[in-house]
Every structure is written in structure tokens, then in C-alpha cells.
Structure 1
Amino acid sequence: SAARAVSFNEKLRTAHVGVGGMGSGDLGSIASHAKVEVAALCDVDAERLAAAQKRHPRAKTFRDYREMLATLGDSVDAVVVSTPDHTHAPAAMTALQLGKPVYCQKPLTHEVFEARQLRLVAEQKKVATQMGIQVHSSAVYRRAVAIVQSGVIGKVKQVHAWSSKNWGYDGGPFTNEPEAPPSVAWDLWLDTAALRPFARAYHPGGWRKFVDFGTGTLGDMGVHIFDTPYAALELTSPKWVRTTCRPPTGFGHPEKNKVEYEFPGTAHTTESLLWTWYDGAFAPPTDLQLPEGLRLPSQGALFLGEEAMMLLPHVGEAQLLPAEKFASYTRPDVPEGDHYHQWVDACFGEGQTSAGFQYAGPLTEALLLGVVANRFPGQTLAWDAENLAVTNVAEANALLRRTYRAGFEVEGL
């Protein structure tokens, strides 16, 4: 069903799935738009739900997003998803199937197949979508895109990107853990994931480290740090991906990780583009030939062009190198943007989102291929994007799409 047309003399009535942690920030940022009315709040953790309701006492509250969306129907206009990664696609797709615009936290999904499906259904439903990579709209990142696309560093041949954060876990499964706190509806937290006992390492916050719930450092930080090079160079799908990390455990993501990609060339790159990601103790990279005295930040990206280099700290102004070559260079003037308000405006039909699912889907697919490759270290996975398949390592295809737990199936996934 088509989304209800929202006219500009009305409020956009929002429903928020996940209101603790990042969800609390998302709630505040979207509610700060003058045309937004927070209509509903949902969280599996009653304590976090109560804290959010204090800020929005008129909002209806729920523990299960499926019940919320089924109950409220047309009394909600748009949905914000700020949950752990494994529930992004189920919640976002449930909203899309109802014709609701969706703002979804990053990375867009937990699996490659989910990212493809969200993009296709969002296009079909013709609703405003946005992935929560808020720095995408910041002036520093948009200025970096403009600098690269101006050609001042020449065609880009390589990108190096890194984060020294460690959203990995190299240990084994947990034992002797307590029951879930009374405030946490553990079955609903697991959602589509297989049943297992609660562990303090999962909730709140630590879920990013575990393969069934999160996407590791690559998914958590790579989605931000990949974003600017991906947008600036107008990249598509990689030809192949290869990782260097410890053997897979099937439980936690690697604590340190190096991922290499080759992308087809674009107007802004050489004939092909080599991209290398480093995280944990592999970051920042130590094997790059850099101008004398240059120290790399703990997170960022380095563009190697045929004429010059650009270093982009996360988050900070781009540095053009060698510095003497750009002593009189005038940087493009780019206004600051509000990523959250951009989505609200687009829900009213005013302007378009810059990180809608048509952009966020392919970016997330590329990232998550690196997460899949972590399970096959040292092997080059050849990628057929059109058919959504790894062509040379058959076992990898089983990791592109997971089976949802009985009772938590979602139409379109």
C-alpha cells in the first residue's frame, strides 16, 4: 500500500524502534524538527523505554515493533529503526511493506541479501529512506567529495581506510551467565536470531562483536569511513574481496582485520581501484609511503591519486598532500547539512535524501562482503553482483542470507 500523503500543514508522526544508546540520540535529533510529532516508542528494554517516554509522555509505548506497527497502522506516518544490526532489516522491511518512510541506522543490514531487498522494496514503494550515517551530510565530508570530484588530486588509484577500534571477539562462547534482567524481553531482543541464553556481553552495546548480531568493526566504523570514498568515486560493486585475519570461530568477529577489494573503474579513478581496510591492531596502516613527518590518525582514509594524495581523518577536514603543492588552494565552500532533518523534509516531499537506500544498499553490500570474507581468510572471493553470488567459493553463498527464526519471518526477506 502506498504511504499516506503527508501535507505540510500536518506533523510527521514518527514511530521509533530502539530508543536506548544510538536510538536515544536518533530520537532527539528527529524530534527536534518542528514538523515532527513522536507518536510511538518501542524497545525490548523496559528501562530504556521508560527513559524515552519521560521525554515524550504522549507517545504510545510497545516492546514488540511488529505489534506496534500492526496496532497503530495509519496513525503513524514514518518509522525510525535504531536497533542492533540483526534487527535492522526485519524492522525496516516491515515498515516499508506498510508503505512507511524509514530512517534506519547503519550498517543498513546484517546480510548482503537483506541490503539488496531493502533497496528494491524502497524503490518499489517510492517512500523517503535514509541510512543513519549522519557524517554523510556534514560539511567536512561533503567538501572532501567535492575536492576529489574536482580532479585536483588526479584519478584515484588506491584508497586505504582504517579504524583502530576493536569491535571483535576472539574468545569462545559464554558459560555461567545470569538470566536476562527482568527489564529485558530477551526473546524479542533475539528477534530473527536463533535462541540462545542471555549474556552480559551482548546487551547493552557489546552485540557488535558477535557474528549473529553485529558486523564487527568493518560494519560499525567501515560504513562511515567507506562512505566518503564510495560517494566521491561513485563506486559500484566490487569485483573481488580478500581478507587477512585469524581463522573463523563462527562466534565473534576478528579483533584485527585487513580487507582488500578491487572495484571497477569510474570517471574519478584509474582503470580499476584497489581498496584496503584495516581495523583493530592492524590500524592505522604502517606500510604506506607517506610524506615525511605525516602521522596517520586512529581513524580515517587516504586517497592516492595520480597527481597528489588526500588524507581524510574521521571526522575532520581533508589534508591535501604534498602540502606545498596546495599552499594557495581554495577549498570548495559547502554548507553544513542536517542528515536527520533532510529525511523528515523528504517525507513531506521537499528535496531528496542523500543516503537513501538506493545509495546505502550497494554501499552496505560491499561492506558486508568483507564481513563474509572474514570467514574465508586468505581466499579471494569473486563477486557477481547482478546474481548476488560468490562465483568461486560456494560455501560463502550460505552467508549472504540467513534463515529467520520461526515466528519472526518477514515478507520480502
Structure 2
Amino acid sequence: MNKREFLKKSGIGALGLLAAPSVLSAQDKLRTIKPDGRIRTAHIGVGNMGAADLNDISSHPQVDVVALCDVDAINLSSARKKHPNARVFFDYRVMLEDMADEIDAVIVSTPDHMHAPASMLAMEKNKHVYCQKPLTHYVSESRAMKKMAEEKGLVTQMGIQVHSFYDYKLATMLIRDGIIGKVHTVHAWSPKSWGYNGPKPVGEDPVPAQLDWNLWLGVAENRPYKEGFYHPGNWRKLMDMGCGTLGDMGVHICDTPYNALNLDVPMTIKNECRESNGFGYPENNIVTYEFPGTDYTTETLKWIWYDGPGMPPPNKDLVLPGAKNESSVKKKASTNISLDANIAAEGELPEQGTMFVGTKGRLLLPHFMQLPRKIVKGKYVDISKEINKYNLGAPIRNYESEGPKHYHQFIDACLGKDKCTAPFEYSARLTETILLGVIAGRFPNKKLHWDSENARFLEEEANQYLSGKYRKF
């Protein structure tokens, strides 16, 4: 069954998704909505995380969703049911061309390799852009997106929602106020495994009837469709489309220490992992960065990221009060959100999190929705007085109320009522840092030296991975 037959039999064609090969709307062109007091949004990618982005953006009372785009007709059908007045497209390029005068802001929620192509085209057409994390797939793209946003004076935001959450804002304030002195080491970890240690797939499977495989591949190298390897989710594990666990959870978890310490990009990067297979990312990575110092750190800062099953390994910096010794530390899942933040009463690390190590103690920040905790000389220290002085109110433990904040901040900024806290000016640097660690995985156990001014590694062999060749599609 081809895509056209699928659309007819599924009833999606009756919803207006079968008007043309790339433009999928049976409606007449919508009347132009005056942008005064309203923001008209177009959404590129409306399945999975894209569906969540669409829900939270559209929950803003001054948003009108005018366009929906996805390479999967089922995703489009689901989104269209919630936004029946929006025009629908398979190809974002056609959407941006056809509706150039009817869109104020674009939300990009595609796989990583299509973030920059879609965002750059939207910005070229002077549209404000909210782009999911990591901002780009290549370092060169991050710098290009930052430059264009600045030159055009556009409102931009990267999709790191926890940036606007209570506990992360609190941790940033505490660190900047010197609660543990100057920070010399950061440990950050996630046991998730967006890696693939197996062989490259052989053969091909039929492309699902609802999927435009060519448009899904986009700028990536052409290849046969193989079920279970690409759409809808496993692309994160693969070098040509995703950025591994570091590019997924690492952006969220590393955001707060990166922001709190006012870091730039690192001087050196080393990734302890298996040899590169040229297809999938390693399932376990230990990435060590060295950063130049800031007002909140010692002369230099050591930062260690751990990901994959069993991470992090035992380390004296991670031993918590109640633990018998370094090797006895257990990791406790942080899915049970608790107001009292008693996650470490028995020496158990949160499943994911960050440990700041300073000259006057340590600060543990679980991921997510749990209070940071200060540790000095092996004991927890009460920091309620420090917390109370910020007048943040009681800790918020409701994701339904916290989740939309980051999105609404973007819309309010488009309306001139607020400023984004994760614009491309900031998020491009954070993403560059993340991607340098990803690249280091191609050269296991080798220290790479980064020349930020010239955007090049001193190790010439690594520079080929700073950018990629775009396929014409």
C-alpha cells in the first residue's frame, strides 16, 4: 500500500491531508490573522515531543496555531483533530513558502539532524523560532544559528523546559551566591542509553504507508528504511541523526551548572568509551571537560559527564551522608517527587543529577523536581535560610503547571512582554559544548584541544565532524 492509498483508507484524506504531494490541505488559504496581540505559530514535527510542544505552546491564550507539518500522516491527523483550523503540510519548506505572510513564530520539534535546516529557513524568513534541544546536530550549525538570530534580532528559545523550573533556578542562585565557595569540579550523570553497540543494519523493510521516508531523511545521507532503527524514536542512538544520551538528557542536566557557573566552551575534551563503529553512539560514555575559570569557579573547572547503564561509577565526590563507603553508593530512581527532598537519607544517589564540588562543600541537584542539598564534611547542612531569602515561595511539584512556563516565556517574548532565558545566544554555546563531547566519542580516550576563537580542534582529524554535507531532497 502506498501513502496515497493509506491516506484514503485511513480517512486522513478526508481531513484534508491529500491535496498535493507536499502541501496537504483541502482548505482554501486561511485569512491572514493580524499579529497585533496574537502570535500565529507553525509547528514542524507534531509527533512524540512535537505533540507535547504543540500542546504547551497552544495553551498560551494569545497563540493561534495556523500550520502543522510532519512527515508522518498519522501524527498530522492527531494534531489536526486538536487544531482543525490549521493548514497541514508534509514538507516544511513548502509550508514556510506558502504561508510566509501568515506565520509569526515557528516551533521546530524534528529529529536532531533537521533542527538547523528547518530553523535557519524559518529565520531567513524573519520568523521567531523555538527549537527543541540539542539546538543542532553540528557545531557549525550552532554558530550559524546564533549568528543569524543576532543579526535579525529574532526571539529564540531552545527547548530545555527545566531551565524555567523552581529547583534549577534555586540552584543557580545558590551557586552564584557562593554557597559552596568556588566550584572546581562538576559531576553530571544519567543512566539512560541512547547508544547502539550492534552492527549496522543490512537489507531494507517496506516504508510505513503513512511515512514520507525521503522527507524524514531530509539532509541526511540516503539509505534504505529499516524498521526499529530510525522512525519514530531510535534515531537518537545513531550518529547521522541524533546526538546520543549526552545530546538528549545531557542538555537538560548540564544546563543548570553551565548557566550557574557562567561557562563558555571548554578548552579540552576527552571521552572514555568504546571504539567508534561509525554508525551508533557508544552505550556508555565518560566525558571529561576542562573549562577556563569564571567568577564562580576556581582558575579552571573540571566537568565529568557519565551516561549509560550503571552510571555513574563509584567516586569519592559522589559519596553521600549515610553511605558506608565509596563503593556502597546506590542510585535511587528520582521518579518519586517529594517535597522534603529526602532522596539521599540512606546514601543513595538520585538516578540522574549533578554534584557541584566547591572549596567550601558540595551541592547535590537531583534531576528533577527535588531541592538541591548542601553537604559539608560528610553531613547535610540546613539551607532553608538561604532559600527563604530569594522569596521563591514553596517548592513547586506540579509538572503540569511548570511545564508550559518555558514555552509561554517564548510567546510572551514574541509579544514584547518578556525575555527568553535560553535564547540561541546562550543555547548555541551550551550545545557546542555538548557536541564537542559527542565528537570526542569518535576518538576514545584521546584528549582533544578546542580552539574556540577559530572554531577548530588542534587535532586536525577531528575537524571533519564539526559540520556535515547536506543531501538535496
Same topology, TM > 0.5: yes
- Scaled to the shorter chain, the TM-score interval is over 0.9
List aligned pairs for 1:3-402, cutoff 5 A.
9-200=36-227, 201-289=229-317, 290-293=319-322, 294-315=347-368, 316-322=370-376, 323-326=379-382, 329-331=385-387, 332-334=390-392, 338-391=405-458, 393-402=459-468
Structure 2 contact 250–434 (Cα < 8 Å) conserved: yes
Closer, same or farther: CA 43–8 of 1 in aligned 2, 3 Å: closer
SS at match of 2:224: coil
Once the two structures are superposed, residues 107-127 of structure 1 have per-residue CA deviations (whole angstroms, 9 ceiling, x without a partner) of 000011101110010000101
CA distance, structure 1, for counterparts of residue 151 and residue 36 of structure 2? 27
> Against the structure 1 CA distance between its residues 295 and 190, is the aligned structure 2 distance closer, same or farther, given a 3 Å change threshold?
same
Whether the aligned pair in 2 keeps the contact of 1:265 and 1:271 (CA below 8 Å) is yes
In the TM superposition, residue 333 of structure 1 has moved relative to its aligned partner by: 3.3
Q: Distance in 2 between matches of 1:292 and 1:342?
A: 38
Q: For CA contacts below 8 A with separation 6 or more, give which structure has more relative contact order.
A: 1
SS in 1 for 2:449: strand
Give the superposition deviation at 1:9: 4.2
Taking the aligned partners of 2:38 and 2:152, their CA distance within structure 1 comes to: 21
Question: Is the CA contact (8 Å cut-off) linking 2:38 and 2:62 kept in structure 1?
Answer: yes
> Displacement of 1:185 after TM fit?
0.2
Instruction: Measure the CA separation in 2 of the matches of 1:380 and 1:80.
Output: 37
Change (3 A) 1:327 1:100: closer
Give the CA deviation at 1:328.
5.6
Amino acid at match of 1:398: Q
Contact 1:16 1:42 in 2 (8 A): yes
Aligned-pair CA distance for 1:285:
3.0
Instruction: Report the CA distance between 1:199 and its aligned residue.
Output: 1.8
Deviations 1:31-88 (A, max 9, x none): 0001000000000000110100000000000000001001101111110000000000
3-state SS of 1:221 partner: helix
**Inter-CA distance 120–282: structure 2 relative to 1 (3 Å threshold):** farther
Is residue 223–residue 364 contact of structure 1 (8 Å, CA) maintained in 2?
Answer: yes
Find the aligned partners of 1:48 and 1:157 in 2 and give their Cα distance.
46
2-side partners of 1:8 and 1:84: how far apart? 29
Name which of structure 1's ranges 327-336 and 13-22 shifts more when overlaid on structure 2: 327-336
1:284 touches 1:298 (CA, 8 Å); kept in 2? no
Q: Residues 351-380 of structure 1, C-alpha deviation per residue, up to 9 Å, x if partnerless?
A: 210000000000000000000000001111
| C-alpha distance in structure 2 between counterparts of 1:88 and 1:403, whole Å | 15
**Partner Cα distance (2:425, 2:34) in 1:** 25
- CA spacing shift, 1:246–1:324, aligned 2, 3 Å: closer
Residue 3 of structure 1: aligned partner? none
Instruction: Return 316-325 or 345-354, whichever deviates more.
Output: 316-325
TM-score scaled to structure 1, two decimals?
0.94
SS at structure 2 position matched to 1:330: helix
Structure 1, residues 93-112: CA drift from partner, whole Å, max 9, x if none? 00011110000000000011
Q: When the two structures are superposed, what TM-score results if normalisation uses the length of structure 2?
A: 0.83
Contact 1:163–1:298 (CA<8 Å) still a contact in 2?
Answer: yes
* Residues 117 and 54 of structure 1, relative CA distance in 2, 3 Å threshold: same
Contact 1:143 1:333 in 2 (8 A): no
Q: Residue 157 of structure 2: SS of its match in structure 1? A: strand
Amino acid at match of 1:90: P
Q: Percent identity?
A: 50
Contact 2:40 2:104 in 1 (8 A): yes
Partner of 2:28: none
Structure with max Cα Rg = 2
Amino acid of the structure 1 residue aligned with 2:418: G
Letter of the structure 2 residue corresponding to residue 120 of structure 1 = K
What is the Cα deviation at residue 280 of structure 1?
0.4
* Unpaired stretches in structure 2, ≥5 consecutive residues: 1-32, 323-346, 397-401
Aligned mates of 1:363, 1:328 — CA distance in 2? 30
Q: Does the CA-based 8 Å contact 1:284-1:299 persist in structure 2?
A: no
**What is the alpha-carbon distance in structure 1 between the residues aligned to residue 299 and residue 282 of structure 2?**
32
- 8 A contact 2:203–2:224 mirrored in 1: no
**Aligned-pair distance for 1:8?**
7.5
The Cα RMSD (Å) is 1.5
Most deviating of 332-341 and 185-194: 332-341
8 Å CA contact 1:164–1:299 kept in 2: the answer is yes
Instruction: List alignment gaps of at least 5 residues for structure 1.
Output: 1-5, 408-413
Preserved contact between residue 321 and residue 380 of structure 2 (Cα < 8 Å): no
Kept in 2: contact 1:106–1:132 (CA 8 A): yes
**Which residue matches 1:410?**
none
Q: Is the 8 A contact 2:374 2:383 kept in 1?
A: no
Letter paired with 1:367: I
